[in-house]
Amino acid sequence: MTKLPEAMTEMLQAKSNFNRTEAEYRFIETLTFSNFDEIVAMLDKSLTEDWMAMPVWARNLAFRLACLQAPKNHEIRRRAAADLRCFGPDWDGEAEQLEREAYHLEAMLSNGVKQEKAF
């Protein structure tokens, strides 16, 4: 189990620019080596506690890594797309692509193709 929740908390609570930068580095490193379940748990916790506290770049990175780790999971793609839509038109193209992928994956699942949680 990684220390992803602790790294996220440390990043969000950093006071000075130096401490924030160091905490962001630790968060990115920890996130990079976290598995799908750890990433989703961190997203669930941080977005439930304070939806706007997590920086957009950190949300995008976490959702992107989760999607890459679970390439046949339509649910995480839908969540990522919905999250992208909350932050302006800059991300609409990416959100549309994720929605298309989710739709395609869900259609495959309903046709009997087994959904994989992670590879």
Question: What is residue 52's predicted lDDT score, i.e. its pLDDT?
Answer: 92
CA distance 110 to 62: 27
Express each pLDDT in 67-76 by its tens digit: 999 999 999 9
The mean pLDDT value for 49-73 works out to: 95
Question: What is residue 2's predicted lDDT score, i.e. its pLDDT?
Answer: 62
Q: How many residues does the chain have?
A: 119
Question: Which pTM value belongs to this model?
Answer: 0.86
Question: What is residue 75's predicted lDDT score, i.e. its pLDDT?
Answer: 97
The mean pLDDT value for 22-47 works out to: 96
Query: What DSSP line would sit under 41-76, residue for residue?
Result: HHHHHHHHH-TTTS-HHHHHHHHHHHHHH-TT-HHH
